[in-house]
Structure 1
Amino acid sequence: MKGKSVKTIHVLLLLVVIAVLIWSLIKPASFMSWTLEATPAIIILIIALLTYKKFRLTTLSYVIIAIMAILMFVGGHYTYSKVPLFNWIKDTFDFKRNHYDRFGHFLKGMSAIVIRELLLRKTPLKKGKWLFWNVTSISLAISAMYEIIEWISFIILKGGKTAKNFLGNQGDIWDVQWDMVLTLAGTIISLLFLSKLHNRLLRKELGK
């Protein structure tokens, strides 16, 4: 892709994310819950914008960042356990819980591609088994750190309604384990199916 068309795609992605961000702020279920859910996405977006000129990522990485941000903004607007589409799926298929958070943790595995890009461009690591292993380990570590943050938030907020919405376990004692397993699965699948596309974009867009 040529430089101008690539930048156009990036601008369009940013506009879509901003539109969803604005929508998510309009009468959310809880402003405190929205803040807890959306803040990580906002921080990542700010970093991506501030580093765009000096350290531009591939379009694939920006697409994944946009998906992650939208995922968090939607979850923040409704709270993860009450996203309407997944309530409908829950009722239709007689599930015991709203699975938006599980879906979200699986999709968060795609951030492995962003981690892969950072490692390829900022460390001596080269494409191969060690890169796969390191990316998977970092992705799983980030997932574990996020679960720890949720736990700390629950303690600080003394288990109130906002804390329960942020924790989102919906009464499942194995929720943390499910979240991490799904992130691990999403990571491995993303690396297996997106790495070749990522390599092509690294060459075409960045000459790497």
Structure 2
Amino acid sequence: MAQTTAKPAALQPLPSVGVRVAAALYLVIWARLAISPADRSTWVLENALVAGLVIVLWCCRRAFRFSNVSLYLILTFLALHALGAHYTYSEVPYDAWWQSLTGHSLNEALGWQRNHFDRLIHFCYGLLLVYPIREFFLRVVEVRGFWGYFLPLDVTLSTSAVYELIEWGAAEVFGGDLGMHYLGTQGDIWDAHKDMALAALGALIAILIIAGINRRLRHDPAWDWAQSMKASAHRRSLACNDLRPGTTPIARLDNK
């Protein structure tokens, strides 16, 4: 019998010229900031997750590629992260930069007692990355309506919590200055809670913007939301079967 060999998955179309230029610019920024960082060990830790993200995107390039908008947002976030990794998040001299531009201290004007660059990045995590997360849900999981807004928000908050656990674990494992630099609490016992709250706030703002745009583009978004909350006929049938007295999904599978 003749055997057929599966054709390899075709490569997704290349990103636009603008995205490739932005990616090249990010690589230049990353390479420049990789030179003589404030703390090399902290820099390595901060870039470990970035390396993991790049590997995942590379491995999935044949099956899925983000839109140009998503790629711009991801690159913007990674560039901000590269800046924080270079100086360590608690030492980014944004206040000195602001004073050189305006002659005034931003921290004093806002009454800040700590370096808030890390808070900005957590906020940007939600603001910039919820759109790519939503795109993944829409194109791969094929969610619609309410779930297309709720699930990206949920994943943003849950991954933010996972990152806080990673920070805590790294601080416990490495300890000393390296652990404290990576943790970056700056003496605030509620640092992790505030970071997660800011990520959620950024994601919520982005979701509301997306919803507002969709409302202008779609004739009846309320109908789309209502339909997304209804189970299909097939799923309703499965649910009814699962609830029949004396019958369990496992038992039915065993009887097939």
TM-score, normalization by structure 2: 0.70
Query: How far off is 1:192 after superposition?
Result: 1.4
1:61 match: 70
Query: How far off is 1:72 after superposition?
Result: 1.5
Query: How far off is 1:156 after superposition?
Result: 0.2
2:135 match: 117
2:5 match: none
Return the letter of the residue paired with 1:56.
R
Does residue 75 in structure 1 map to residue 93 in structure 2?
Answer: no
Q: Deviations over 1:93-147 (max 9, x none)?
A: 4420010000000000021111101111111311x22221111111100000000
Rg bigger for which structure? 2
Greater relative contact order (Cα 8 A, min sep 6): structure 1 or 2?
1
Q: Output the CA distance in 2 between the equivalents of 1:94 and 1:114.
A: 34
Q: Output the CA distance in 2 between the equivalents of 1:148 and 1:94.
A: 29
Query: How far off is 1:52 after superposition?
Result: 3.8
* Corresponding residue pairs, total: 193
Q: Output the CA distance in 2 between the equivalents of 1:98 and 1:39.
A: 23
What is the alpha-carbon root mean square deviation over aligned residues?
2.0
Gapped runs of 5+ residues in structure 2? 1-12, 99-105, 218-256
1:153 match: 170
* 85, 97, 102: which one aligns with 2:119: 102
* 147, 162, 167: which one aligns with 2:183: 167
1:186 match: 202
Return the letter of the residue paired with 2:26.
V
1:205 match: none
Q: Which aligned runs of 4 or more in structure 1 are off by greater than 4 angstroms?
A: 91-94
Gapped runs of 5+ residues in structure 1? 201-208
Query: How far off is 1:40 after superposition?
Result: 1.4
Query: How far off is 1:68 after superposition?
Result: 1.7
Q: Output the CA distance in 1 between the equivalents of 2:178 and 2:50.
A: 18
Q: Output the CA distance in 2 between the equivalents of 1:58 and 1:15.
A: 17
Return the letter of the residue paired with 1:41.
V
In terms of fraction of residues, the more helix-rich structure is 1
